Structures are given as structure tokens and as C-alpha cells.
Structure 1
Amino acid sequence: MRRSARNRMAIAAIALICAAASVSPAARPIRGLSIDILTALRWDVFGRRQDPAASPAVVVAMDEESLRTAPFNDAPMLTWTGEIGRVLSATLEGGAKVAGFDMVIPKSIEQSEIPFGEGTLGEKVRGFDRDFLRALAGASANGKVVLGEVLGGNQPVRPSPGQRVAVRQQQNIRPLNVHIDSDDILRRMPLSFAVNDTRVPTMAVELASRALGAAPEFDERGRLTLAGYQVPGRVPNTMTLNFEGGGDDIPTFTFADLRACAVKNDKDYFRRWFAGKVVIFGTVLDIEDRRFTSKRFATGIEGARVPRCTTESTPVVASFKKSMIAGVYIHATAVNNLIMRNGVIEPGPIPRLLIATLVAALAAAAAWRFRPVIAFAAWTGMMMLGVAVATIAFNHALALPVVEPFLASLAALSATIGFRFVVADKDRRLLQKSFALYLAPHVINRMLSSSKLPELGGETRNVTVFFSDIEGFSLIAEKMSPDGLMELMNEYLSAMTDVIESHGGYVDKYIGDSVVAVFGAPADDPDHAANAARAALDCCKQLAELNASSPLFQGYKLAQRIGINSGEALVGNFGSRRRFNYSVMSDAVNLASRLEGANKFYGTTVIASETTVALAGETFAWRELDAIRVKGRTQALKIYQLLALEAGLTPAQRTLIANYANGLAHWRAREFERAAECFGRSADIDRPAALFAARARELALNPPGPDWDPIRTLQEK
């Protein structure tokens, strides 16, 4: 089998295996995360999609405000029944289609056997629930109330016997049980339960059915059709909930406020807000009956309420988001989904596998075709595009998989890169490793991509040359053994090379303790001057760290001098026909060497030419040192000291630069006394200022002739 065919088969196998693993049963615990992510993204991108007032379901909340408002404060829920009946009747009289209870009151205070006086408490309050039971009976006669129960083994939690009789037993009682995924997140709502061999709709289905005036129809697999709407559901006998985002998607009424409104008989308020609605009574408390749902990343601050009817209670508004929501909103969302026909549609196993395979194949192809960094960037762009498409689709209730393609493609990307590294690119890597110590990486890559050997020749480019040297190296070398000197220099040169290459520079050669590097070749770099300046600052920082921490540097505190110059240079392969090096050649290299040597005279560390300063820009803090002529050149040039990044310049450094600039201006204007004064302000702490102060004082005492030239000629290299 040819190597290319083998590689293609390997890439295809990687994509298929990764895709299959992402949709396997082992990945089931994270599969629902796609819906959670899409719910949050849809909320962030599209915001509120409809006016909450258009919600078919509304919530009457027994909330923190109700618990703190008279007459309910400090009173157990068993004693609320009469007022619950009052509010229930008011909402139904206001035009509500049906009311449901996402709460179970399993006992009646009338059943209490606690001794009270000569009898029991139950005997003393006989008839306490009469108004509540009458309200339930009247509503159940018209099919407008549904009580909840919680199924569980042989002991379900049911309403009290009096309530069950009032609502005609199971005719108006429905299960409140919910479906929890394997990761403890609620994303789906059961549609029915088998009770005594009879299929019983859940609370949400019953409420939606009565609101629509259509009986629910179940097939043998538990799939529900309601008023012509076939409810989608990947898990049998469930509906995937389509939660809106935020904290006010379901209109919520505080029970205490509605009770006060019913007491004052404000029928207009109830007609305005409850006509045609499905009303669900439930608790909305800080800790009770709260669940993680697929809305957990898109919740809002609870406490947003509709306009109030009275001002007899004080609203309790939450100040932060909670990732859990009250259970009553789960049933309200299910009712809305059924009535508005927008339950979430989830693709089956085969479509999910095909989508994951396609994305994994694209990721594997990118990893095979491009370098790892570019492949990762392409994969990131592909993921962002895929998530955007999935978010738009979810805005239409279609939940395309997000997690499975992400995992499959990431695994395929990593596996393909690994395959290339271990198998396919072994020969290429061997060649790169063999020549990396002698040629520039860019030259090696160009040779490999063209399948041609290097040839003599070069080209002219605008580059920045970096020249560094160790101060007093000869004295240091005299004190050390050859082996110790070799170890010291190897560590020093390795550290400096790492810094230079990290900024895109290419080390041309080592000349003893000197480093000659070039920025802008062999790879193009429009910011070569700025990168060279950054490398110089980082080299100084790195050397300081070596002096402080490296055992080899103890007792030999090294200092370096760096010269930087920009200009046109000939770069390419220079040498004989049988042996040559990739190097740089021009006057710009020589000038960088002279600038490195100029540090000796001024007592500085980094000196750059005015050309480099102009190219590097204002990101750096430069100080103009002088105008000089270096040995071997007749043309004068201005030289600058690199102090730091402009953003990191200290106030003291700014003052030093200002004093020096003023002194230099007076110097060039032949105002030597004023120049000496300006330079003298920093002479104690600044070597260049001290040199100029001495020169200015000397000329102030012995003024030069009219042909005096403010340009200094340096005779040393």
C-alpha cells in the first residue's frame, strides 16, 4: 500500500472513531449539555423573543413576600387554605381557563389530633377548610382546577382526603413528577404515567389539554398528539423543554398581593391579567423546590413581577441570579411549549453521528493539511461557525448537537496531529532536527516545502541587526578554567538565543561572547525594529535573572552591551559552492557593532540608531544620547538609549530624560553653562549626564571657536 493511501485511510479512521466515541453511551452524561449551551447562547444573541404578557401560563407564587405579609407571616401553609380558595375563585372569575396546583397540601388542620383544651385542635377548628373546599368543588364542577400529586412507590403524596373529595378524586388530580437526566439536570418533562394500568397525563399535559379544549392522544410508544400537534421527544414519553432566558419570561403574581386584591374585590384587575390564562399555584422560595434545568446558564434575577394590584405588602426582590429555578416554572414552561407548539426537536442517533463525523473529518483534514497552530485556528473558526448555525437553528426549536461535534473534532484534531508527529512526519522531523543547529528554521521549512537544496545567493531586505557583547569578558575569561568558561557561556548564549528567537529574531552567528542576530530575515517581519527592541529589553531582564539565580554566574556578575541598527542588508547563503552559511551582510551590520561599542563610552547598555527608533515607534521610551561619528564612517548619526517600554517608564526616568534633553538642546546651542546645569541635575546617578556635564563645564571655561561641531567622533570600536 502506498504511503499516501495509508495516510488517508488512517485519517478517515481517526475521524470515524472519534465521532462514534462522541455519540456512544459513554458520552451520555454530557450529551444534554448541548441544550444548556444553546439556551444560553440564544438568550445572549436574540434576547427576549416574545412579550412575557403573551405567555399562556402565569404563576401565582407563594413567595418570600407572601411569607412576610400579614396575615400569612409566621403562619404554616395549612392555615392558608381559606385565602387560597379566595384567590382561586377570583382568578377563575376573572376568566382563567384552568388552574393547577404545583404544590400538595397533604394534611388538613381539621385532622389535627394535638390536645387543645378539653379536646383536640382539629375539633376546635372544624370547618376551617370549608371555603377552600367549596372553591375547589365549584371549580372542579366546570373542569377548571387540577390538583397535583407526587407518585412514588406505594405511598404517593396526595392532597388531603377533603380536597380529593372536593375535586372528584382522580378526575382532577394529576402527577407532578419530573424527569431528571443522568447528570442531575432537568431538561425533559414526562408526558404521562401508568397508574393501575391506565395512562394518566401529567399536570402540564392536563392543563394544556383543558386550555385547548382537546383531549390528549397517546400512541403505543407514548408519543403525544395534542390538538393536532405531535409533541417531539427523543426520549420516549417525554417532551424536551424549550426554556426562554431571563427571570421574567413567565408572568408571576405574588399571592399576598392577589389576596389583598380579592379582598377589595378588584374584578377588573383579575380580568385584565387572568382572562384566557392557565394559572399555576406554586412556591417560589429561596431554597424550597428548586432545580437545575437546561436554563441554568440563562437565568435572570428573580423577583420581576407584573404590575401590582395593591400596595399593602413590600416586594422582596432578589439581587443576584440563581442557576436553579423554582419547580412551578418548569410546569409553566411545559404548558407554554404544548400550547405554543414549540417543544425542542432533538436529532436522533444517526443524524448526530453524521454531524459529528463530518465535523471530525474536517478537523482531521485541517490537522493533516496545515501546521498545528493554523489547524487549531481553523478548527476554532469552524467551531464558532457551527455554534452560530446551531444557535440560529435553536431559535426555531431545533437543537443541533454542539458537544458531540466539539469532542469528536477536538479528539480528531489531536489524534491526527499525533499521527503526523509519530508516523507521517518522522522523516521531515529528522531532517529539521539535523539541520536546525546550522540553518535558520525558515530556511529549512522553505527547503522542505520546495524539495530543493539550498543554493548560493541572496536578496536585499530591510532588516534590523542586533549585536551584543559581554562587558569585560577578557578579564572574566582569565579568572576561569576553560571548562567553567564553556559552561558559563553556553548557559548565557542559550538564554539570549531563546529570548531573541521568541521575538522572531534569527541568530546569525556567535563570535566568542558576541551574538549577531537579525530581525526581518529570513522570515518577513514588518515590525522587525520593534521586535529587536523588545528582545534587547528582555535580554537585559534575562541576564539579571541569571546573575541572581544561576550558580554558574555567582561571583561573575555579567553585564552586556547591545547595539541595534536598521537598514538594507543582503541576506542569503554566503560561502563557497561546497560549504556556505545563511547570513546577513551590509554596512548596517558594521554600524550595529559600532553602536554596541559606543556603550563603553556612555556607560549605557542598549544603544540604537535613529533609523531603528523611527521604525520601532512610540511604544518604547528612548533617550537621545548624542550625535556621533563612529570609526570607519564619515556620516554623523544620532544615537538613542533604550530605557524601557513607554508604559513602564517611572517618574524618575521621565525627569532624567527631560533634564538630559534640555541639557542636550543647550549644548547644541553653545549655551554650555546652562547645559552643565541641566546635565548636573542627574550626574550623580546617570553616567551619560555626568560625561556631558563635565564636557559642558570645560567648554564653559574654554569656549570653542566658531567652527565648533557638536558631533562627537568615537575612535574606538
Structure 2
Amino acid sequence: MTRAQQVGVIIGLAIVAALTILRASDPPLLKQAREVTFDEYQRLAPRAFENLPVRVIDIDEASLREFGQWPWPRDRIATLVDRLSDMGASAIAFDILFAEPDRLSPRTVVRDVPGIDAGLLGQLPDNDEIFARAIAGKPVVLGFGLSNEGNYRPPVKAGFAFTGESPLGAPPSIKAATPLRPQLEANAAGIGHISLNPGAASNVVRAVPLVLSDGEQLYPNLALEALRVAQGASTYLLADAPNVPDTITQVKIGDFIVPVTAAGELWLYVSPDTAERYISARQILAATGASPATRAGVEGSIVFVGTSAAGLQDIRTTALGQNVPGVSLHAQTVEQILSGRFLSRPDWADGLEILSIAVAGSFLVLVTTFVSPAVALACGLLITVLALVASWLAFFYAGLLFDPLAPIVSGSITHFGATAFRFLVIDRERREVRRAFGHYLSPSLLYRIEHTPNALRLGGDDRELTVMFVDVRNFTQISERLPPAAVVGFLNTLLDALSHHVIANEGTLDKFIGDSIMAFWNAPIDVDKHASKAVHAALAMRETLARLNADDAFGFGDEQKVGIGIGIHTGLACVGNMGAETRFNYSAVGDAVNIAARIESSCKEVNFDILVSESTAKMLPDCALLEAGALGLKGKSTRTRLFAVAGDEHLAATAQFAELQSIHRQLVEALRSRSAASRKIVSAAKLAAAGLTPELPEFYRRISRRSEHFLHESAERADRSAE
């Protein structure tokens, strides 16, 4: 790992830590984004409307047109209660506040008339008393609102039992309530709060508090109380989380168990608003009586009395984005409980999301730093898809609410930050490597260098290299008869074609020296079978040059054919960046380099285009090699044994080359022993070499003149044996 990569990982993990802490603090913006995501899930798969025994008695525009503006006199409300009770409603819940005396009551109207007789006043009817008598003994639930003034608390008509410690600190708090008329309060079968989202920052109603607390007493909401009254139950049973104070996990009402949040709130799983849920109050109060269909809708149902009239301003927004009467959400609360279709967000959901941010973010930092940007992007997209799919499946099949947005956004920020750092810092170093080596190395080697620490440090290392020198034959004569521009064009055509094979065989192009090429293998990165790859590059150069000559690529015609000599040697050399800190070249120096250069020069003397040293030949057991003798190289005190490269392993495996190789061994022995049979054997070798490699006939034509190369080698061996 390079220092830049280390810094990148540290910075990336710091970003992940900051995002994890941010999610753990759960600021309002994240909460809002999470809630909007859950809204989208409900829009994709809303709860289907079911024909359950729950109805809304709607004081709608048609009812107001027939019976006058709101508020109606309470004797008419009493009539509504009587009609609903007669039709068999199991509970009648009012999403209406009855906090003030009925201003339309006859007794109230004439009370302030001057000179009215007190006895006569007492004989006039009071609508509140009429309404109180109407609800007495009937399953009527009245609603109360929340207030910031006074200290009124409504009576609680039911008991509360707990499976553990009292969770009085869990629900939203109630400071005070709007007071009910005393006679109504006393005669109601149940009393519940009508607040749908107290203290919520959003107008969208997503969760309904089933209970409120003043620190000493719990107060049920209207829907919960209506369900209790309908069942004839007397007590709520609240369960808490073990060993977690002030939490509520579920509420039991009669035969129904409702999962809730720790604060006692029910996540609303709403269904689209539909006319089937509503019955107009006008139909209940019709002088001719209610229709059979209306009676069937009311019988056995929990009915909620409220208003959809726009002017009365009881309109709320659901998770589906619909504006609906507030009373319908009370009805949907009971529908949801009856259907058993709940949404829940487990207590451990926050912990899971925080952990996912930390784990996924750390993974993306490592991938982005050490793998290609394309792979990192693919991993980021995969994490995004997995988060979305897992969250959706949990919602669709289990009603569980997990936030996919936080890990996705955090992952995107992490990926962007790590990618930016990589581009600006880490990849800058790799771009420098590409600028330094891009023209001299194969893509595979270049990739390995980019991922190798200290690849561009100044200095050298001793490594075993296979070094190649390539030189153009008769270049002086060629350049003499060409103008300078033509010489440049000739060299560019030839050297470009030949150097391509160095790179293709994972070699390193060291330099161009006039009409020569220097290249080496096994640096700056280890290369398997480097000697073999160097020889394959030389053989490919031979074929390329033959094609260029055949195609007259140099424009010389038949009068001039271009030839090359290639020398290859394997040995120890010092390789690295050499020069100054601000300007250097990657090169190799040492005896191995000098020997390779001298072997290339010996190609003229041997009259063959590709020669390799004995150290290289030992690493080429499968290639078609022929011993070329031991030559004295400039600067070397002993002769160097050389081998001619006739072809690759495919040629070596042919019967024709096996025959030639057998004849060649006989020839070498004859030359060493100065046998007169050598001439005859040369003729046989020429015949066997026909059609194998064009350079072999010339090689054998001159071999007899080089008998001293074999003699000297034999003498040296004899001297070493004598010692």
C-alpha cells in the first residue's frame, strides 16, 4: 500500500465515521427524507380497502345544504345518535368537540332577554340535556382536543394494565384538554382524544398516538376508545420492552393486539380514500327514514361522526398524498386494527441502518482505493440495489420499515469522496507512471507497476534480466543514399513495427539508439519465462521484417532488402530510474547489458539474425536452437558460447528440425575434431535446413570458416579438465 493510498483510506474512513455519527444523531432532514421514502412505499403498494364494519357518518356539503350551516343544534345531533343506535351501530364516536354550551338551545337563546320569567326559562328545553339523555346508555364515544391553557383533564372511562413497569413517560404528553360539557362527559361510554399528529413538523399524518400521558394518567385516542366500547371491554393492556424503561411495544384492546412504536404510536397503513367508507348524515336524518343499504352499512359497525365540508377545515394529508377528512383517519385506524395489516419499525432498525452505513462505507472506501473506478462504481450500484430491494421486500412482505436512503446517500458521498481523492492524489501518481512508461511497456505490465509501491523511486535494483539488442544491418549504406527525412521515415516505420513485439511480449523498451533498440525483460516487474518471451519477440520481429520487405514498406524495391541482427543474453544487471530527481530514465546497466550488445554485433560474424547466450539457451528447453560456437566478445577474457534461434517450440517439435539438429550435432563434433567429413556434413545440414528458416543456408555457408570458434571452446574445456 502506497502512502497516498494509506492517506486515502484514512480520509475515507473519516468520512464514513462522520456520516455514521450524523445518522446516529438523526437530524430532522434525515427523518423527513426517511418518512418521504416510506410514503413512496405506501403509494406503490397501498393497503387495499376492505368492506370492514367501520363507517364515517359524514356531515358533508349535502347535509349542510339540507339542515343548515354548522354547528347544528344538539337536539339534531341527539336525533342522529338515536337513529344510529336504532340501526345497530356497535359504537358511535364523535370527531367533534362539544366544549361550549349549545348556542342554539332555546334556553340559551332567551336567557338574556329582558324580563324573562325564571320559571318560564326553566321550562324551555336545553339541547345539551337532550343530547346527554340521548347518549346515556348508548355506545357513544366523545372526543376531546388538546389545549395549552387551563388544567382540565377529561375522565378516563377505561382502566390501564401493564405487563411490566408503568410506561407513563413513553407517550406524547398532554398539558391540558378542552373541557367537555359536564352532562355529556358523565353520560358518554368512552372519551378519547382526537389529535392525529400532535407536535409533528409535517402536515402529513403518518403515525397516530394511541395514548397520551400527563405523567400520572394515560388517555386513549378516539379510535382506540371506539374499538374498546364496541367490544364492551373495560381495560387496555400495554406491553413494554423488557429492561427498557418508558417504552410501549403493543396495546391489547379486547381481542385485538396492536403493535406500536416505543412512544405508543400506530404507523398508519392507509388505503386510498373511497366513497364506500362514507355515509352522508343527510341519509341518516332523512324524514322518510334511512334506506336499507344505509341501515346495512351502519348495522354492527363502528361509526365515526365527522365532517368533510371544506369550510369546516378538518382536512388532513395522508402518506398517499391525498387530502382527506380527519375523521376518515380515525376510521382507517380501526380498519387497520381489524384487518391486522400493520406497519412497524423495529427498535433495532436504527442500529441496523447505522451499522450498514459504517460497513458499506468502509467497504466502498477500500474498493475505491485499491480497485478500478469501474469496479468501485459497480459495487456502489450493487449496494444501492441491495438496499432498495431489501427495504422494499421487508415492507411488502412483512410491513417492516427500513430506511434505504441513509445508507445509499452515505455510500454515494463516501464513494464520491474516495473517488475524488483517488483522482486528485492516488491516480495522479499512476498518471505519472503512465507518462513515464506508457510508450515502453505492455498494458499488463503497466497496470502492475501502477499498483506497486515506490515504482518510480530514484535508484536501482540488481535483478536477473533478459536483455535484447536489435540493430539494422548496413544502415550506413542505406542512410548514405537517402535524404535525412527519408532516413527518419525509414527508421520510424521499422522501429515502430519491431518495438511493438517487445511490448506485446511484456518487455520493457529501454531506448532507441540511432538504428538500434535496447529492451529487457523481468523489470520493473517480475515476468514469468522472461527469456522465452524475449525470444518470441525476436522471432516475431523476424517475421515482421520479412513481411515489410515483401510489401516494400520502405520503398527500396528489390535492390535493397533490410536486415537486422538480434542479440539476447540473460544475466544480472542493475535496473532502475537513473538520472536526476527532476529528470530521469528507467534503464539497465551492467555486464549483462554489455554482453547482449556484443552478441548482437556477433550476428554479422556468425551470419545469423538471432543469437542467444548459453545462459539464455538454458532457459529455452523447448525452442529450436542450434549451437553457433564460442566467440570472443569485446571486453570479455573468455569466449562466450552462443546459440542460433531457428524457431519456436512448434518448429522444434517437427521431424525436419529433429533431423537437422542431429546433423548439426555431428557437424559441431566434426568441426571440433577438425574432421575432413565436416564439408560433407555441412552439405547435409544445408539440405535438411531447406525450407525451415531463410537465414539457415547462409549460416551453414559460413560455418566452416568459423571452425576456430569450436576449436577454441574445445581447447578451453581440455585445459579446465587438466587443471
With the length of structure 1 as denominator, give the TM-score of the two structures.
0.50
Larger Rg: 2
